[in-house]
Chain A
Amino acid sequence: MEQLLLLIFLPLLGAVITAFSGKSAKMVSTATAIVVLGLTIFMALNFIPNASTQFEVNLPWINDLGIHFHAGIDGISLLVVLLTNLLIPIIILSSYKHDYKNPGAFYALILFMQVGLLLVFTAMDAFLFYIGWEAALIPIYFICAFWGGKDRIRINMKFFVYTIAGSLFMLMGIIYLYLQNPAHNFEIQSFYALSLDRVQQGWLFWAFFVAFAIKMPIFPFHTWQPDTYTAAPTQGTMLLSGIMLKMGIYGVIRWLLPIVPVGVQDWSGLVMAISIIGIVYASIIAFTQKDAKRLVAYSSIAHVGLISAGIFASFNIGIAGQQGMQGAMMQMLSHGINVVGLFFILDIIFSRLKTNKIEDLGGIAKSAPQLSIVFLIIVLGTIALPGTNGFIGEFLLLMGVYNYGIWAAAIAGLTIIFGAVYMLRMYQNVMLGKTNELTVGFKDIEGTEKLVLYIICALVIILGIYPKVILHLTEASVQHLLEQVNQKLTVK
């Protein structure tokens, strides 16, 4: 149990030190993030791959309201915790070429955000979950608002208000559940045990779903996302797309499905529809985007749409839902890794050439062969070539969607074609062709850039060839979740 407390509070301690360490903030935050990653790996190695909650912490907190500091890790939590703690050092390292003003604050905010994320991903008390949910939002708001690009204040205000509005619905849902709970606490287990009728479940479904859908974001709740991704500093974009959107997906899996399965079942047709529309719609929009960052932002909406479709097609078909759910697990990790890689490459290009406009670029491969290789590997991971991490997730997810109907799988499967179109279009227009005045003499990747991108490429390939390391960790917990949900559905 001490390990989990340590895991959550180490970044907090690191953040405080970072905030006051001025010029050496980069170093302090890097060291913190790496220690946290080391601890996470240690915990993952000690994790017994069954469905139980491990490293559990349960401390009384606000006794009058029955609020506990109750956290723990099962396979599903472990996956997102791994993702978070793996990406945070990568994101920090990716900032090394930048000289952000007021680095103490910048790096401290990243670590603060890590604390919030870890609370979300480990909380077993709804109140704690909500605290983490909002605590993760505030640092990212400041990161985007202080260090962002053009028009950042307006764009960020919208992002902030939109997501907070969503989470207020969730807060109402949590309070309602608390009031219904005879045990008068916020324990997730007692929420699971509540028997709620169909109408209650329907309302609660929407209260939670809106919050999660905005966070992911899935169509049509997505319009804050492309602007925010484009205006945020790259590290902010990475935090948002790599980790933060997984809060929404995690929320669906951990809170929505097991607490209100009937509500989910009643509305799953609609969610399937918007998820699949989102895949096609965002992919088509990505075709003609002029700004590479915005293109990747839309591609991310398409990918998240597929994850959502896979989950909602799989939750109520018993153990046959394993493929879709495991696909979602794998894809959360892969998408996080790949999208961070893509945004980093665009950042490298931007920092050298001051533009991410696709039409201004071209021919970079000639003078930057290393970049062209790592870029291609990450693109291949993103378009799910077999042998890369993206394939495992996408394949399993599509297999899950197939359970809903072959037409659903065929339409969602368009992402295989469309993804190749927009990604290769971008790759071609940025990297291939003739060099122009702007791109001539482009400096190839070096130092930390190389380190970060090599790590990402290694993960793309290793997870593609040996996905078992991840699938194995989550399998029992996913199975347990499916059993739990399906049991509740059959009782009704």
Chain B
Amino acid sequence: MTIEQLIWLVPLLPLLGFVINGLGRNFLSKSVIGIIGSGVILASFIISVVIFFTLQGDAQKSHEVFLFDWISAGKLHIPLSFLVDPLSSVMLLIITGIGFLIHLYSVSYMHADECFGKFFSYLNLFVFFMLILVLGANYIVMFIGWEGVGLCSYLLIGFWYTNSAYASAAKKAFVMNRIGDLGFLLGVFLMFNFFGSVEFSKIFPQAANMLPGNNMLVLITMMLFIGACGKSAQLPLFTWLPDAMAGPTPVSALIHAATMVTAGIYMIARSSVLFDLAPFTQHIIAIIGAATALIAAIIALSQTDIKKVLAYSTVSQLGYMFLGLGVGAYTGSFFHVLTHAFFKALLFLGAGSVIHAMHHEQDMRNMGGLRKKLPITFLTMMVATIAISGIPPFSGFFSKDEILAHTFQYSPILWGVGVLTAFLTAFYMFRMMFLTFFGNYRSKHHAESHVHESPVTMTAPLIILAILSAIGGAINIPHIFGGNEWLAHWLSGAQVAQHELNLDHTTEIVLMAISVLLAIGALIFAYFRYVKGARIPALDSENRSPLVKISYNKFYLDEIYDFIITKPLDGLSKFFYRVIDTKFIDGIVNGLGWSTNEASKGVRLIQSGNIGFYIFMMVFGIVALLAYTFYYI
């Protein structure tokens, strides 16, 4: 079987799963739904593996598969076609592989939910759209997936829609994504005008011959970057992602790890040819990425909801990836996408396991001492925490290090921000671990004896992800450790721009040592504070210091947006409606009608039916006419 024959099955199977589970949600049994829902993703994964290995043995690294003509108007032709190359083939593995584990986990996690079938059909649809996003061979097919995952996040974040707060979180996610999507679309229009096409295979070869700093390319890449900001939760559009935890926990794992937020990074890596020629945009990306990484990390420091900590850590890690993209470390960023997918999926599923055991308790102030009760959850989450903190030899260390090394070469100041963030990351992650798993059990609602480890269908995915989080770094071990940078070589087959690191070995080692030591320092600091010192975050009713307040209240960003955007627009809406529309415009319209009416009242009086008056007027008219005639002659 060739790649061309297989590839369409990869997205088709999840779509089938969506259709079957969607139609059969009311009469299929939960086990059948679970088997279909997970099975289609597993099948997709297996096919993706076959495709991956076929591609590896193939001399031709890029296969474009045409399905049918989708839109054509004038010179615009948009085929529905897929692109299989090293970049997309790795993404396929992540999406379907991690996606499958999340599906498997959900079978148990969602078992008690009455909308089980709906849940699985939505999950399948989510994976389907993400696959379309990654497989699209032009920007518009990519955009189908791009907006499709936005829709699925809307459906899944608002899955428990009877809670209005959740429904609002879903709407917020969709709208914020759409702000980015407008940028994306404008970028597409610019590209169509500039390159005469929206297809990768027509755009990138043309761009390759252009000079860096072309204004049009700067504009195009800025627009695309705005799109990426929405989808990948960067400043100023990140506030939807923390709210997105309103959805069931497996959904968070899916959004934060395998799908959705990685889309922006994928898109920029895919378009790296363009971005590489737009240094200005890269500069902006690096700054926004660093700022997002730092701000989100500061917010995560004081959060008390276990999922919120993880949500902000995602925002922060995405910031890292953007920092990497900005400094030209495309492979490093993509590498971080991979390792982050492993450990963030693990962390969310682990958090789900904790929440499951604690009967929907998410506040860490009511947890504590769970490591004996939930040993597998604890151990696996510990692996993920070490990985995200960048402590060797776990996966996060390698990917984070690659980004930081490139950043140092680009700008030591941004490197400083990156290292500071790394320190904060290690701190808040271990804080979360210590508050959850160490110390004394603190919940007053649920008896400690009722807390049990999750069933094997939930722990098995945790164990697999823990192994991947531990050793996943192996796919791109740098030369300095005797590695061969497999991923970098692999991606070079997909025209992902590569930049050599020109640091000498000593500098590289010193930089690494600094970030590792800071991470370990943060670990120790957190240990003394939360385990030895047994500190517990303040209750909401207690006073906090101003700095903690800012962090705990997320820099008041939601309030600021509400104040400068939402409120004024609503005010404007009422003003437009009540004053401009009803009083002014309609007033003029009615005024015209009214004045016609009034005028007719006056004129009507003349038509009195009085013959005498008519005769008088006639005589007056004749006299006037004569007078006029004589006067002029």
Interface residues, chain A, CB within 8 Å of chain B? 158, 161-162, 220, 222-224, 281, 284-289, 319-323, 326-327, 362-363, 365-366, 380, 385-387, 392, 395-396, 398-399, 402, 406, 409-410, 413-414, 416-417, 420-421, 424-425, 428, 431-435, 465-468, 471, 475, 479
Q: Other CB < 8 Å A-B pairs besides A410-B182, A416-B182, 17 of them?
A: A222-B585, A223-B585, A281-B576, A286-B573, A319-B74, A321-B74, A322-B74, A362-B164, A385-B148, A386-B147, A387-B144, A398-B189, A402-B193, A413-B182, A414-B182, A417-B175, A475-B73
> Does B540 have its Cβ within 8 Å of any Cβ on chain A?
no
Closest to B584 in A: A220
Q: Is the CB of B161 within 8 A of A365?
A: yes
Q: State which residues 141-193 of B face A: CB under 8 Å.
A: 143-144, 146-148, 151, 154, 158, 161-164, 167-168, 171, 174-175, 178-179, 181-182, 185-186, 189-190, 192-193
Q: Is the CB of A386 within 8 A of B144?
A: yes
B61: min CB distance to chain A, Å:
28
Q: Is the CB of A428 within 8 A of B593?
A: no
Stretch at the interface among B64-72, B240-248, B410-418, B456-464: B64-72
Q: Is the CB of A413 within 8 A of B73?
A: no
Of B147, B168, B569, the most chain A CB neighbours within 10 A belong to B147
Q: Pick the residue among A222, A326, A420 that contacts B73 (CB under 8 A).
A: A326
Q: Pick the residue among B72, B168, B580 that contacts A471 (CB under 8 A).
A: B72
Q: Is the CB of B71 within 8 A of A396?
A: yes
In Å, the complex CA distance between A470 and B581 comes to: 36
> Does B572 have its Cβ within 8 Å of any Cβ on chain A?
yes
> Does B599 have its Cβ within 8 Å of any Cβ on chain A?
no
B439: min CB distance to chain A, Å:
38
In Å, the complex CA distance between A323 and B76 comes to: 7
By a CB distance below 8 angstroms, the chain A residues around B615 are none
> Does B542 have its Cβ within 8 Å of any Cβ on chain A?
no
Q: Is the CB of B182 within 8 A of A380?
A: no
By a CB distance below 8 angstroms, the chain A residues around B74 are 319-323, 326, 479
Given A223-B589, A416-B185, A475-B73, CB of A284 within 8 Å of CB of B569: yes
Give chain A's interface secondary structure class.
helix
In Å, the complex CA distance between A420 and B240 comes to: 15
Q: Is the CB of A424 within 8 A of B175?
A: yes
B596: min CB distance to chain A, Å:
9
By a CB distance below 8 angstroms, the chain A residues around B572 are 284
Q: Is the CB of A158 within 8 A of B147?
A: no
> Does B485 have its Cβ within 8 Å of any Cβ on chain A?
no
Q: Is the CB of A323 within 8 A of B577?
A: no
Q: Is the CB of B569 within 8 A of A434?
A: no
A360: min CB distance to chain B, Å:
15
Q: Pick the residue among A161, A286, A387, A421 that contacts B148 (CB under 8 A).
A: A387
In Å, the complex CA distance between A161 and B171 comes to: 41
In Å, the complex CA distance between A431 and B174 comes to: 17
In Å, the complex CA distance between A439 and B181 comes to: 35
Q: Is the CB of B186 within 8 A of A434?
A: no
Closest to A419 in B: B178
Given A322-B74, A406-B190, CB of A428 within 8 Å of CB of B69: no
In Å, the complex CA distance between A475 and B570 comes to: 41
Given A396-B71, A410-B186, CB of A424 within 8 Å of CB of B147: no
Q: Is the CB of A399 within 8 A of B192?
A: yes
Q: Is the CB of A288 within 8 A of B574?
A: yes
Closest to A414 in B: B182
Q: Is the CB of B577 within 8 A of A471?
A: no
The 4 closest A-B pairs by CB, nearest first: A322-B74, A223-B586, A326-B73, A287-B573
In Å, the complex CA distance between A431 and B70 comes to: 33
Q: Is the CB of B189 within 8 A of A417?
A: no
In Å, the complex CA distance between A142 and B162 comes to: 42
In Å, the complex CA distance between A158 and B596 comes to: 13
A189: min CB distance to chain B, Å:
25
By a CB distance below 8 angstroms, the chain B residues around A406 are 186, 189-190
By a CB distance below 8 angstroms, the chain A residues around B573 are 284-288
Q: Is the CB of A432 within 8 A of B161?
A: yes
Closest to B179 in A: A417
> Does B75 have its Cβ within 8 Å of any Cβ on chain A?
yes
In Å, the complex CA distance between A409 and B162 comes to: 37
In Å, the complex CA distance between A366 and B162 comes to: 8
In Å, the complex CA distance between A229 and B257 comes to: 46
Q: Is the CB of B189 within 8 A of A434?
A: no
Q: Pick the residue among A287, A289, A467 that contacts B70 (CB under 8 A).
A: A467
In Å, the complex CA distance between A413 and B226 comes to: 14
Q: Pick the residue among A395, A399, A425 that contacts B171 (CB under 8 A).
A: A425
A346: min CB distance to chain B, Å:
19
Given A323-B76, A363-B162, CB of A421 within 8 Å of CB of B185: no
Q: Is the CB of B189 within 8 A of A380?
A: no
By a CB distance below 8 angstroms, the chain A residues around B144 are 386-387
In Å, the complex CA distance between A420 and B182 comes to: 12
By a CB distance below 8 angstroms, the chain B residues around A285 are 573, 576-577, 581
